[in-house]
Chain A
């Protein structure tokens, strides 16, 4: 189930978004919650699954170790994918402008 363009899962999008600043796993969960204003709550098992898969796909990499915890950061490839997805989401919002009055 690796990502190859097209719509991203919410989990993946927020992980990339949060990793624009290098971070370790547990804090990442907190940041995602903050960024989304508490809307997205990611469980540690799910986060781990997303992180390992995205690392394998080259969207993120391990930047180092903070004691026993790995620090992740976004790669150029990941940044590109994030921008593309952002553009896609913006286009979707634009396309839905007419909905405001409904």
Chain B
């Protein structure tokens, strides 16, 4: 039974001479070309042989029967076609004549290929121009693009943008190269057959790198996975019972409902908690219902000591909902690097920055921001921040 091997082409089609050399070298190693595809070539394991390969380019995708017969009658065996490219082979001892004695004739067909590639590059570029508003919108209308990029590790926008730019740049690079080859043919220079070639282009490394980046940021589940954990004293978050324990109230459901821990590339760990209590006896002062205090922590640790202040603001912006930035007041503090608070009747937010730690405490209840701030300070000092 015949054994087949598939190999990535890794040589652009317009590098005709290099592709021909590659197929010859494969034949020397005992791999005879069976068929050519857009990105893969299929080989059959046979005995090593000395074969010459030539690629004939046609104006349309089809190889005319007359053309095929002419080339075959001259001692070339038809192997396979991929669109405008048709591969022929001939054993060296057969001494078949070159398919092209006049490069200017070859240039006519090659020119059609060049034009086709140019059209494709134009089409791709126009699509990209249509997509540009999506990227602009991401940065304009997104409440906090920095938060999404750095904290939530949502790199898909950035990566897809880079991939698009790369692909377009690459296709125009190819168009340029193809027209260069065409110019040479038109001026009467033959395609150089049997040239040394480099199959592994750095360009492929870049593609590989981009694919890895996509994998790392989107597909790798460990990257932004949420894990539920139990409370322990070493967590840099504030408990609701700090504020409510001394009150002579009876509570039900007095427990941490949930603590989640997440990580992104540059911000890890990120801790989210929510906790609420309900009194069975005490009502709000205005008699609007039973007293139900609640407390929500959002903690971030920045792995890299840059952009702390910017991210501090990004955290506020991301979770400000209907509130304006001006609703947050800057508070002087000897301990913290930066403190901002928000206050209304029963709802308060305290956001602190200390070194690389950012903690946002949202509290619904009767305790004051001063107490909350003091409690955070006490907790941070306890943890040695």
Q: Chain A: residues with CB nearer than 8 A to chain B?
A: 1, 9, 11, 25-26, 29, 41-50, 52-53, 68-70
Contact = CB atoms under 8 A, between A and B. Distances in A.
Given A44-B70, A48-B70, A1 B56 contact: no
B73 A44 contact: yes
Nearest to B102: A46
Contacts of A48: 64, 66-67, 70-71
Contacts of B102: 9, 11, 42-43, 46, 49-50
A-B pairs, 7 with minimum CB distance? A49-B105, A45-B99, A26-B73, A44-B70, A43-B101, A44-B74, A46-B102
B106 A69 contact: no
A7 B175 CA distance: 33
Please classify the interface of chain A as helix (H, G, I), strand (E, B), loop, or mixed, using the class held by over half of its residues. Answer: helix
B69 interface: yes
B89 to A, nearest CB: 14
B8 to A, nearest CB: 28
B97 interface: yes
A44 B78 CA distance: 13
Contact of A49 (B73, B76, B98, B108): B108
A37 to B, nearest CB: 16
Nearest to A10: B102
B66 A25 contact: yes
Nearest to A62: B66
A42 B66 contact: no
A45 B106 contact: yes
A52 to B, nearest CB: 8
Contact of A45 (B67, B69, B73, B104): B67
Contacts of B108: 1, 49, 53
Contacts of A26: 69-70, 73-74
B214 interface: no
B100 interface: yes
Interface residues of B, number: 22
Interface of B: 56, 64-67, 69-71, 73-74, 76, 97-102, 104-106, 108-109
Please classify the interface of chain B as helix (H, G, I), strand (E, B), loop, or mixed, using the class held by over half of its residues. Answer: helix
Given A46-B99, A46-B100, A49-B108, 7 more contacts: A26-B69, A26-B73, A29-B70, A45-B105, A46-B101, A46-B102, A68-B65
A35 B218 CA distance: 69
B97 A25 contact: no
B205 to A, nearest CB: 35
A44 B69 CA distance: 9
B198 to A, nearest CB: 27
Nearest to B54: A45
B69 A69 contact: yes
A75 B85 CA distance: 32
Given A1-B104, A11-B102, A29-B74, A45 B66 contact: no
Contacts of A49: 102, 105-106, 108-109
A43 B65 contact: no
Nearest to A29: B74
Given A26-B73, A49-B105, A43 B100 contact: yes
B105 A44 contact: no
A83 to B, nearest CB: 23
Contacts of A42: 101-102
A11 B105 contact: yes
A46 B100 CA distance: 5
Contacts of A50: 102, 105
Contacts of B99: 43-46
Nearest to B67: A48
Contacts of B109: 49
